[in-house]
Amino acid sequence: MTENNTRKELVVRLSMVYIAVVAFALGIVVKVVYLQVAEHDKWINANTFSQKDIVIEPDRGDICASDGRILATSVPYYEVRIDLKSPGITHEVFNKNIDSLALALSNLFRDKSANEYKRELIAQRAKGSRYHLLQRRVDYTQLKEIKTFPILNRGQYKGGLIVIQENRRIQPFVNLASRTIGYQNKGGTDVGLEDAFNHFLSGEKGVRMVQRIAGNYWMPVNDGSEVEPQNGYDVITTIDINLQDVAHAALHHQLQRHSASHGVAILMEVKTGDVKAIVNLKRDKEGFYTEQFNYAIGERTEPGSTFKLPALMVALEDGYVDLDDSVDTGSGVVRYHDKDVRDSKEGGFGKITVQRAFEVSSNVGLSKIITQYYTGNEERFVKGLKRMSLTERLNVDIKGERSPYIKFPSDTLWSGVSLPQMAYGYEVEQTPLQILTFYNAVANNGKMLRPRFVKAVTDHGRVVERFSTQVINPTICSRSTINKAKKMLEGVVERGSAQNLKNSNYKIAGKTGTAQIANQKYGYKYNSQVSYQASFVGYFPADNPRYSCIVVVNAPSSGVYYGNLVAGQVFKVIADKVYSTSLDMHEAIAKQQLIAENIPYTRNGHKLELEHVLKELSIQSVGVDINSQWVATAKRDTTVQLYNRYVKKNEVPDVSGMGAKDALYILENLGLHVIVHGRGTVNSQSIQPGSRINKGDKIVLNLIS
């Protein structure tokens, strides 16, 4: 009986356990099904809050000058914040270090006192701030210092330091060619080369998965799914930063001198179309001249007398006139319908040749030539301009180019004065770059090239893509007309309106331009005043053109507005600099048997610089085991002998025979205070060579010439 009861009780208990296990298992199954079906979306969304993909921005490529110097680059700046509720910042840590942290922040940023920083941090900690801003736009050097500050030196997790990196675009040469280099507008329109070559510069974004961890921080998940960013390529421009600097300074000086509104200067290489310098300066409200708009490609104006060249070339090409033909300019005034055309010279030039009419820039002469042969056949004249590619855009890389405006006889605005006006550069509109491109074609024997701003795209020095010179028009006219055009342009400088640009070292060929500026609403006169645009465009050296250049000065207000005086002077400064720094533009030294009298005296100095100069002069340098940076020299019969001159760290060197520049460089870098007397080369020094150097010692150099 007892045994049966025990067995029954055991069966009951086992049954209850079994039922409980089954019920528990069923409960789990039901819960799983519920989670997978009823709450599927909820838990999927929850996962997205704990894991997410973040975009990794690539490094933007640099924009470089032709020699590799950086014109635009991205530098990291940082936003620094602090999590004042970080578990590592205990009350003890905070109270012990708050004074020194506040003082360090105040000393670094100098925007608040130490007490202000202290009160701010205490108040934010009391509020439980986990993302308090300490400073924006912190550079890398400042960030390194911040990481040494009390509390913050404990890092992100123990010290609450939060650093957010942001790359900012800078132009190291600031205002030089800045509008052409361009910039990116957040939410706006990008401009310049930054826009034109963005597909090369921008690179490709990467993707990385991160996971939320304790403290609301995100940690990268290394699951192999990352896509690494591809950094942008570098863009190598045609800009020569040295020539850009010269052109900028020359134009800036002239704009200031004549209180002009704005101005443009462009330097181009004749055979390639490479733009070596491009300056666009405008006076702002404070009176400073800065690069605000790309007038070179974006402003279309009536060019005035610089358009006389293509107008006359049409007549020359059609065979209507030759340079020796005569044209009667009379007393300097001629009337077409209700419009008087005048020459700048009171009383006119009388009867002169076509060549002379161009040289002195006679409006009457040019208008008479064009109206004599094209009245009744105006379309032929305009087609002649079109044949020379003056009616089409250049389609350069940079956005914003204005289309040229050449009036056609079928246009509703064509009138009885349109033809004579067009002959001397009115009722037509061109940008400065379009005018320069035409003159460059003349210098290039008729081949018109598209202006080139970028020559290559590189990846760490490896050329990814190279951009070749593009031809717009292989022959704008016959070689005979080109030769006549060159003769006229040389005559302008030799005998005509730009004689002030004539010099004995090299020949300039070009054309002056002085045009009245039309106001869209009030015409050429506004408040009884006339504004002018002064320009000069040409090339040099005239007998073997290497560079073409245009300078345009808008609205000079000093009473001087003629192209040769205002714009021509800028052209000459640029041309002189190019000529003086380009040894290959000078006449080669006649090859002859060198004798002792032909070998020049050479100063002692920097070995590489001496060797470069001697090589340019085709003079051989000789020496045995020359391995020092500095050398002494001696003149031999047909060579220059080089000798090692070593500079030791703790000894006064021998600087005799050196120029002041080299001697100063060596001695000041050794810590000596140098006093120079005289000019020429070092004849004696007050401290003997080989003496021990004491930093700050004074050494006197006596120079003789």
- Lowest-pLDDT choice from 86-95, 205-214, 259-268, 397-406: 205-214
CB 656 within 8 A of CB 643: no
Q: Would you state the structure tokens that stand for residue 364, as one six-digit string? A: 């009457």
Above 60 in pLDDT, residue 519?
Answer: no
The yes-or-no verdict on residue 567 having pLDDT over 80 is yes
- The pLDDT score that the predictor gives to residue 649 is 74
- Check pLDDT > 50 for residue 664: yes
Per-residue pLDDT reduced to its tens digit, 632-659: 787 776 777 777 888 887 788 888 888 8
Q: What is residue 588's predicted lDDT score, i.e. its pLDDT?
A: 47
- Residue for token pair 């820039």: 361
**Radius of gyration of the chain from its Cα atoms, rounded to whole angstroms:** 38
Q: What percent of the chain has pLDDT over 90?
A: 56
Residue 20 pLDDT > 60, yes or no?
A: yes
Mean pLDDT within 592-609: 62
Query: What is the tens place of the pLDDT at every residue in 61-106?
Result: 999 999 999 999 988 888 999 999 888 899 999 999 999 999 999 9
Q: Looking at residue 352, what is its pLDDT?
A: 97
pLDDT, position 187: 67
**Residue 400, SS3 per DSSP:** coil
Mean pLDDT of all residues in 494-519 = 89
- C-alpha to C-alpha distance for 23 and 106, rounded to whole angstroms: 68
Residue of higher predicted confidence among 620 and 139? 139
33: pLDDT confidence band, cut at 50, 70 and 90?
low
| DSSP 8-state assignment for residue 287 | S
Give residue 63's identity as a one-letter amino acid code. Answer: I
pLDDT at 219: 64
Tell me: pLDDT of 501 over 80: yes
Q: Edge-to-edge, what's the strand order for the sheet holding 217-220?
A: 51-56, 206-213, 217-220
Residues 246-302 pLDDT 10s: 999 999 999 999 999 999 999 999 999 999 999 999 999 999 999 999 999 999 999
pLDDT in tens, 427-480: 999 999 999 999 999 999 999 999 999 999 999 889 999 999 999 999 999 999
Amino acid identity for residue 571 in this structure:
F
pLDDT tens digits along 40-62: 665 555 555 577 877 778 889 99
Q: Where are the beta strands (DSSP E) in 182-274?
A: 206-213, 217-220, 234-237, 262-269
Question: Rounded CA gap, 542 and 491, in Å?
Answer: 11
pLDDT at 382 exceeding the cut of 80: yes
Listed in sequence order, the residues at least 6 apart from 556 whose beta carbon sits closer than 8 Å to its beta carbon are 258, 259, 260, 532, 534, 566
Q: What is the DSSP string of 89-123?
A: --HHHHHHHHHHHHHHHHHHH-SS-HHHHHHHHHH
pLDDT band for position 564 (50/70/90)? confident
Please tell me the distance from the alpha carbon of residue 590 to that of residue 593, in angstroms, as a whole number: 10
> What's the distance, Cα to Cα, between the start and end of the chain in Å?
139
Question: pLDDT per residue over 231-260, tens digit each?
Answer: 999 999 999 999 999 999 999 999 999 999
Average pLDDT score over the chain = 87
Banded pLDDT at 592 (limits 50, 70, 90) = very low
Question: Among 128-132, 218-222, 612-616, where is mean pLDDT lowest?
Answer: 218-222
Give the per-residue pLDDT at 590.
Answer: 41
What is the per-residue pLDDT for 200?
A: 96
